Amino acid sequence: MSSVTPRLPGDDYLDIGLGWSKQGPFLVRGSMSERVYYLDLAAGNLWRREK
């Protein structure tokens, strides 16, 4: 993940990787919004986690 820079919505940027989710994708948190997103490391897809 050191060479991948995911684009988060708005002016948000990656704060920290949280680890693997039970559903499979990797979890990351945005710094400004503190929202949690799923990140597909193979495809580079990023989507918001539903609560």
pLDDT tens for each residue of 3-43: 666 777 788 888 888 999 888 889 989 888 888 989 887 77
Q: Taking 60 as the threshold, does the pLDDT of residue 2 lie above it?
A: no
Domain residue limits at 39: 1-51
Number of domains the chain is built from? 1
Dist. CA 5–CA 1, nearest whole Å: 8
